[in-house]
Structure 1
Amino acid sequence: MARTRRASDGRMPLLEHLLELRKRFVLIALGLVVGAIAGWLLYDPLLVLLQRPLVVAEEMRGNEMTLNFAGPMAALDLKIKSSLFLAVFLTCPWWLYQVWAFITPGLNKSEKKYAYGFVGAAFPLFLGGAYMAWLVFPHAIQILSGFLPDDATAFTNAQEYLSLVMRLLIAFGLAFLSPVLLVGLNFAGLLSGKALLAGWRWAILVAFTFAAIITPTPDALTMILVALPICVLYFAAVGVSVLHDRRVEKRFADAEV
């Protein structure tokens, strides 16, 4: 009876919601710690990989392009940041599942299969967004290095350079992941397919604004190439959400009959 009274006044569900949020944060944090340990061990090959755009630009331009560390503490700080960055990618399926489990705690047993579909779709999309950023970034470095005088040496601050690369990869990954999160909100009953469809103009505006801000180069072609996949993914999310809403409405209609 006490449980019923507390649930009826709305306090207990809110408390349970906050406890569930804390639980998911703790699980995500534990996963990131494990991933960061692996990232620490993989730091050297990661550093070589992240420097690749500079190496390519150096070969094309002939200018020497060198990463510059301000001191030993800067190198240690960068290693810690790089380990956490790699942890985000290594534990991607884990924290994606935790996000889904928090958004949709009320799914019944037969609907739990959607969690695996969510992670199965979100993981490649997140990596696909990061890969697109990786394709865009060397192009940006080549354009920017074109302003260097002949025989000049570019001493690039290691922390600024690698932080830019890491932010770019994560930002693109999350941008490609956003349509799947919208589908998750729809399956949780928090966002209808009609609302997503009605907001398509705002979605396109946000996609192109994001592309204009996040792309390192000012050319319109790069911005369009970044924004178009995000728009396509958004409309795919709209289609899935609309179909899901129709199935739910049909199920309720059949139940009433």
Structure 2
Amino acid sequence: MEHLRELRRRLTIATLSILLGTIVGWYFFDPIFDILKEPYETGIASLLTSKDVDAKIVISGGIGTAFSFRLKLALVIGLILASPVWINQIWRFVLPALHRSEKRWAYLLTATGVPLFLAGIYVGYLVLPKGIEVLIGFVPSSIDSLTSLSDYLNFVLRTLLVFGIAAEIPLVVVMLNRLGIVSAAQLARARPWTIIGIFVFAAIATPSTDPLTMLFLAIPMVILYLLSEIIAKLTDRRRGKAKRRELADDELSSLDD
């Protein structure tokens, strides 16, 4: 019952923080929506001059669609703004069950994973205009392209999430190496197939079909994988030295005749 009460308290604080963040997102809807709309306007700018295509974002689905969209975007903003609070509440509920070394690694992984995730989202935001330009470029001339507002938001969030998750590759590899599941030698042997898999994933995950957008995702992933391989090699070397010192301490002394 004590754990349940603690969980209820943590969930209450997290929910209130998300609610407060949602209110802030509702209030600042216009400037935030302008930021989300910027990649679309940049992407179709060249199409409006090079092709006879009229591309617009429209609201479709009924009278309450605009309200639902604004509420959905405000909720997403609230989750992002309140993420330090609700993540902190999760950690505060979990950390008492961890050992000291596990706590240290949990803090380290969190401090590393958040910047990597944000960097991936930033790269995804930079890639969006090119992806939108290529995708809408398939629309035949003299045909209007009308994109639903809700579909556009889902497209943007999905793209940013894919890039953010892809940036976590070195964190996953280092964690697997730390747990002893994979070694640096295994990572080196699997490097060619891993790189091929990264490019296949980038080709599937990117919003457009052009190779430039795919490279924007694949090349950083390959670089991060190579960095994680170097970190794994240093970790294995340190682990090997520790084992050799333990064996040296356990050596038998020679017997006197």
Same fold (TM over 0.5): yes
CA–CA distance in structure 1, aligned partners of residues 130 and 201 of structure 2:
18
Q: CA deviation at 1:229?
A: 0.9
1:121–1:208 CA distance, 2 compared to 1 (3 A)? same
How large is the RMSD of aligned CA atoms in angstroms? 3.7
- Equivalent residue letter for 2:17: V
1:185–1:149 CA distance, 2 compared to 1 (3 A)? closer
Of 204-213 and 136-145, the range deviating more from structure 2: 136-145
Q: CA deviation at 1:227?
A: 0.6
1:98–1:210 CA distance, 2 compared to 1 (3 A)? farther
Contact 2:134/2:209 (8 A) holds in 1 = no
Partner of 1:210: 201
List per-residue Cα deviations over 1:159-202 (Å, max 9, x = no partner).
Answer: 21110110110111001112212212322333333332332223
CA–CA distance in structure 2, aligned partners of residues 28 and 205 of structure 1:
42
Contact 1:40/1:80 (8 A) holds in 2 = no
Structure 2 alignment gaps of length 5 or more: 49-53, 250-257
* Structural mapping, 1:91-130, within 5 Å: 91=83, 95=87, 108-109=100-101, 112-130=103-121
- Equivalent residue letter for 1:185: L
SS class of match (1:65)? strand
Contact 2:69/2:150 (8 A) holds in 1 = yes
Partner of 2:37: 51
- Equivalent residue letter for 2:207: P
Aligned residues: 232
CA–CA distance in structure 1, aligned partners of residues 164 and 32 of structure 2:
18
1:106–1:41 CA distance, 2 compared to 1 (3 A)? closer
Q: CA deviation at 1:136?
A: 1.3
List per-residue Cα deviations over 1:208-233 (Å, max 9, x = no partner).
Answer: 11110122222223222321110110
CA–CA distance in structure 2, aligned partners of residues 135 and 181 of structure 1:
24
- Equivalent residue letter for 2:185: K
TM-score by length of 2: 0.72
Of 32-41 and 180-189, the range deviating more from structure 2: 32-41
Of 237-246 and 160-169, the range deviating more from structure 2: 237-246
- Is residue 2:122 matched to residue 1:139? no
TM-score by length of 1: 0.72
Partner of 1:255: 246
Partner of 1:38: 21
Structure 1 or 2, whichever has the larger Rg, is 2
- Equivalent residue letter for 2:24: L
